[in-house]
């Protein structure tokens, strides 16, 4: 009888020790989680609604009424989304999509295309400064070094000390949008757009923005207002709608002042005027949003190339895939005020070799 009691007591003792250890492990996990979320909250990028940006470089040209000039917009895929890449957010498998040599090779291809096109104004999206995903290559500096005779400005829209998901994690990201102009920029401003994500997702997510640059027009009191943008991608749709509404308000405000206005970039949406040209959505693939151009009124021109897709899906690598069955998108383009004449608008078919987007170019004249 005593033996049974002793065994029972020993069993209870072991059970208590197991419970204590389990509680201790749980407490450690909770403390680590609290510390992590506390760190992410304290280090979260929280830009002001409006911030003045530095304008670097010396632009030598002068802009005047009646002058014809060119603009290029290009999402360069942070130098790591070439034809070899797929990406987990689009249904692919990869997180790390390029080694450093491939990033540098992609950037060389980007610079070569820019050099060949020679745009008077260049709008870039997904331009990394210091990110693990692009092996800490400063892509903004690379482009700036090649753009002699241009002014340059940069606005961060993805600035996270450590993005913890997926596995392996994305890690540190410092990225944004950049504008280069061969005409002197009077000032540049970062305007924060609505953020559709709440805590804690917001701590490791993008803070989308507009980069607004103002170029004086010689012999007049008007300005050319350039708006570089990269609107929401992986939201439920409400983020895109709210950000587009904010964009429209700024466009109307500047046009009512009598300014010339051009907004360009990656809208992650197709213009309704080009909806019939958009490749059909394939089941299970990422779907672009939709902008009703009639809601903007009659003061605006909406420009996308209906012949050449500006973006391809990242659910699989492009190289080696059947191009006829691939998922493509029309999501990159321009919105131009009606006091500007557009003489050409075309996407450049680069076979998605150095980015998952093709550049789009327009040629315009101030009336």
230-253 pLDDT, tens digit per residue, is 999 999 999 999 999 999 999 999
Q: Are residues 132 and 200 in the same domain?
A: yes
Q: Are residues 129 and 239 in the same domain?
A: yes
Q: Are residues 33 and 52 in the same domain?
A: no
Q: Are residues 15 and 73 in the same domain?
A: no
**Is 260 exposed, middle or buried (CB count within 10 Å of its CB: 0-12, 13-18, 19+)?**
buried
Q: Are residues 103 and 26 in the same domain?
A: no
Q: Are residues 56 and 38 in the same domain?
A: no
For residue range 302-354, what is the model confidence (pLDDT) as tens digits?
Answer: 999 999 999 999 999 999 999 999 999 999 999 999 999 999 999 999 999 99
pLDDT at 249: 98
For residue range 177-207, what is the model confidence (pLDDT) as tens digits?
Answer: 999 999 999 999 999 999 999 899 999 999 9
* Residue linked to tokens 């990028």: 45
Q: Are residues 38 and 68 in the same domain?
A: no
pLDDT band at 32 (very low <50, low <70, confident <90, very high): confident
Mean pLDDT of the chain: 94
pLDDT at 4: 59
Determine contact, residues 290/270, Cβ cutoff 8 Å: yes
Q: What are phi and psi of 100, to 5 degrees?
A: -65, -40
User: Mean pLDDT throughout 13-40?
Assistant: 79
Q: How many domains in the chain?
A: 2
Q: Are residues 188 and 86 in the same domain?
A: yes
User: Mean pLDDT throughout 141-170?
Assistant: 96
Q: Are residues 61 and 159 in the same domain?
A: yes
Nearest by Cα to 241 from 200, 312, 289: 289
Supply the range of the domain harboring residue 66: 48-366
Nearest by Cα to 191 from 121, 270, 122, 254: 254
Nearest by Cα to 90 from 3, 181, 14, 166: 166
User: What percent of the chain shows pLDDT beyond 90?
Assistant: 87
Taking the C-alpha atoms of residue 50 and residue 210, their distance in angstroms, rounded to an integer, is 10
Determine contact, residues 231/269, Cβ cutoff 8 Å: yes
What CATH number did the domain enclosing 356 receive? 3.60.10.10
Residue 1 has pLDDT above 70, yes or no: no
Q: Are residues 179 and 163 in the same domain?
A: yes
Give me Rg for the CA atoms of the chain: 25
Coil, helix or strand at residue 227? strand
Residue 12 has pLDDT above 80, yes or no: no
Q: Are residues 26 and 165 in the same domain?
A: no
pLDDT at 327: 97
Q: Are residues 16 and 102 in the same domain?
A: no
Determine contact, residues 297/317, Cβ cutoff 8 Å: no
Taking the C-alpha atoms of residue 272 and residue 295, their distance in angstroms, rounded to an integer, is 10
Taking the C-alpha atoms of residue 335 and residue 333, their distance in angstroms, rounded to an integer, is 7
């Amino acid at each position: 009888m005593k033996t049974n009691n002793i065994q029972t007591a020993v069993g209870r003792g072991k059970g208590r020790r197991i419970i204590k250890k389990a509680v201790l492990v749980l407490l450690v996990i909770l403390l680590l989680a609290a510390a992590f979320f506390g760190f992410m909250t304290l280090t979260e990028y929280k830009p002001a609604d409006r911030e003045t940006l530095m304008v670097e470089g010396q632009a030598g040209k002068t802009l005047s009424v009646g002058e014809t000039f060119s603009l290029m917009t290009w999402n360069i895929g942070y130098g790591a989304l070439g034809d070899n890449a797929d990406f987990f957010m689009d249904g692919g498998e990869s997180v790390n999509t390029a080694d450093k040599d491939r990033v540098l090779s992609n950037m060389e291809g980007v610079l070569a295309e820019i050099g060949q096109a020679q745009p008077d104004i260049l709008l870039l999206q997904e331009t990394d400064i210091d990110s693990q995903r692009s092996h800490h290559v400063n892509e903004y500096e690379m482009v700036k070094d090649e753009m002699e005779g241009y002014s340059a400005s940069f606005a961060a829209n993805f600035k996270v000390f450590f993005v913890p998901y997926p596995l392996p994690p994305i890690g540190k990201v410092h990225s944004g949008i950049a504008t280069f102009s061969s005409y002197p920029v009077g000032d540049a401003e970062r305007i924060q757009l609505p953020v559709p994500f709440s805590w804690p997702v917001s701590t490791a997510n993008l803070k989308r923005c507009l980069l607004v640059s103002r170029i004086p027009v010689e012999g007049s009191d008007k300005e050319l207002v350039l708006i570089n943008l990269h609107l929401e991608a992986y939201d439920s749709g409400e983020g895109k709608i709210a950000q587009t509404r904010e964009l429209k308000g700024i466009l109307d405000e500047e046009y009512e002042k009598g300014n010339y206005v051009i907004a360009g970039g990656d809208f992650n949406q197709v213009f309704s005027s080009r909806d019939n040209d958009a490749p059909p959505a394939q089941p299970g693939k990422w779907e672009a949003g939709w902008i009703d151009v009639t809601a903007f009124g009659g003061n605006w021109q909406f420009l996308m190339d209906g012949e050449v897709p500006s973006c391809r899906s990242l659910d699989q690598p492009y190289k080696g895939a059947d191009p006829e069955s691939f998922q493509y998108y029309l999501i990159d383009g321009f919105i131009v005020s009606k006091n500007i004449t557009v003489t050409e608008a075309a996407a450049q078919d680069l076979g998605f070799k150095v980015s998952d987007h093709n550049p789009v170019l327009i040629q315009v004249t101030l009336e």
